Amino acid sequence: MVQRLHLVFGGELIDPGKTEFRNSDDIHVVGVFPSYETAYNAWKSEAQRTVDNAHMRYFIAHLHRLRDEEEPTSPTEELGGRTG
């Protein structure tokens, strides 16, 4: 079975109509979750907790979509590997 990990994170945005954070040092990492359902529940909880601040936004990142395990790794991904 393929593992599908999801990251829930959020913070205050510069403009509520965009997705740029006011201060990336203040991004709140809620956690990594093993299913979309558990990630959604965590996202919903944080979104409801911060509903009074129009600049606060939480997101779900599909970590399993960021990497294809079938693709060979580059030398920079290998421990101790160097390029050039």
pLDDT tens digits, residue range 9-39?
A: 999 999 999 999 999 999 999 999 999 999 9
Mean pLDDT over residues 48-69, rounded?
88
Please give the model's pTM, rounded to 2 decimal places: 0.75
> Quick one: DSSP state of residue 50?
T
Q: 50 — alpha (psi -120 to 50), left (phi > 0) or beta?
A: alpha
Whole-number Å distance between alpha carbons of 39 and 62:
10
